[in-house]
């Protein structure tokens, strides 16, 4: 396959940022998207040019590190797929592919396609945990949990914190991420003790980080590689309001 890549370059010699165009003619349909970028970087190194900076870790669709916007879609055009699990057979010979970093003021660009998502870490630090002392770990079945509730909590817990929801949202809202972290704890007995306080603290930190407000457009759910439901946002709003009126 022959491809034209329009890649955002920022930092160092590229200053405040610009698109750079590259031609690749040795791409196979069996390559993952990140392997294709590896091939590009090998060519750039041989040409004594600066390789493209991008993030990756497990390359198994688990960590969410491989975050970039491909042809306008966070993680690329294939639904419920992380960038590392996107393969070049999704594209056609001769295609022009535009690759950008996530765009949000709360995700400042470090270099090229790498952004600083430590704002998510600070939201988790504000309350995304259970601090109640429960003593020694109990057996898995010691606390009965209704099947539908357990399944809903697990679905929310599958959020990998990649930030695709923020990149997809025209308001750069982090509501889907924050609500998933609030929901998966609030639905379980161990997390219900701090549920109202958790929602208050995490939403306050989310606002402090500069994320936008949710306007119910739904692009966050559509672009989420794990299919996290916007029902979690409604659940978090309920927890937040309940905490506000009871405090």
Q: Please tell me if the domain spanning 3-100 has the same topology as the one spanning 118-246.
A: no
Helix (H) or strand (E) holding 7: strand 3-9
Domain assignments of the chain as residue spans, ordered by start: 3-100, 118-246
CB-based contact 83:76 (threshold 8 Å): yes
**What does the pLDDT look like over 148-192, one tens digit per residue?**
999 999 999 999 999 999 999 999 999 999 999 999 999 998 888
Domain 118-246: top CATH class: mainly alpha
Per-residue pLDDT at 8: 98
- Could you report the per-residue pLDDT of 41-75, keeping only the tens digit for each? 999 999 999 999 999 999 999 999 999 999 999 99
**How far is Cα 80 from Cα 83, in angstroms, rounded to an integer?**
10
Give the tokens for residue 242.
């309940």
Indicate the CATH number for domain 3-100. Answer: 3.10.20.30
Q: Are 113 and 21 in contact (CB under 8 A)?
A: no
Expressed in percent and rounded to 5, the helix, strand and coil fractions of the chain are 40, 15, 45
Residues with Cβ within 8 Å of 49's Cβ and at least 6 positions away in sequence, in order, are none
Whole-prediction pTM: 0.93
End-to-end C-alpha distance for the chain, whole angstroms = 61
- Please list the residues that pair with 173 across neighbouring strands: 212
| Nearest Cα residue to 7 out of 100, 110, 103 | 100
Tell me the DSSP string of 84-144: GG-BGGGS-TT-EEEEE----TTS-EEETTEE--HHHHHHHHTT-S--S---SPPPTTSS-
Q: What percent of the chain has pLDDT over 90?
A: 85
Q: What is the pLDDT of residue 142?
A: 77
């Amino acid at each position: 396959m022959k491809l034209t890549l329009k890649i955002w370059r920022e930092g160092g010699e590229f200053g405040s940022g610009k698109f750079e165009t590259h031609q690749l003619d040795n791409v196979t349909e069996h390559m993952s998207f990140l392997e294709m970028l590896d091939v590009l970087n090998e060519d750039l190194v041989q040409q004594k040019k600066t390789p493209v900076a991008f993030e990756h870790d497990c390359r198994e669709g688990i960590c969410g590190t491989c975050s970039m916007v491909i042809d306008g879609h966070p993680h690329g055009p294939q639904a419920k797929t992380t960038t590392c699990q996107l393969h070049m057979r999704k594209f056609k010979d001769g295609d022009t592919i535009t690759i950008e970093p996530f765009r949000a003021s709360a995700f400042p660009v470090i270099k090229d396609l790498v952004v600083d998502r430590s704002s998510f870490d600070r939201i988790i630090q504000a309350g995304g945990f259970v601090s109640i002392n429960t003593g020694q770990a109990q057996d898995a079945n010691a606390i009965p949990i209704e099947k539908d509730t357990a399944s809903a909590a697990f679905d929310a817990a599958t959020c990998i914190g990649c930030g695709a929801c923020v990149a997809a949202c025209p308001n750069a809202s982090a509501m889907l991420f924050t609500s998933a972290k609030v929901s998966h704890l609030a639905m379980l007995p161990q997390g219900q003790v701090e549920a109202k306080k958790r929602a208050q603290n995490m939403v306050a930190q989310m606002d402090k980080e500069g994320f936008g407000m949710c306007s119910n457009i739904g692009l966050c759910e559509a672009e989420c590689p794990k299919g996290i439901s916007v029902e979690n946002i409604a659940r978090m709003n309920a927890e937040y309001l309940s905490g506000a009126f009871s405090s």
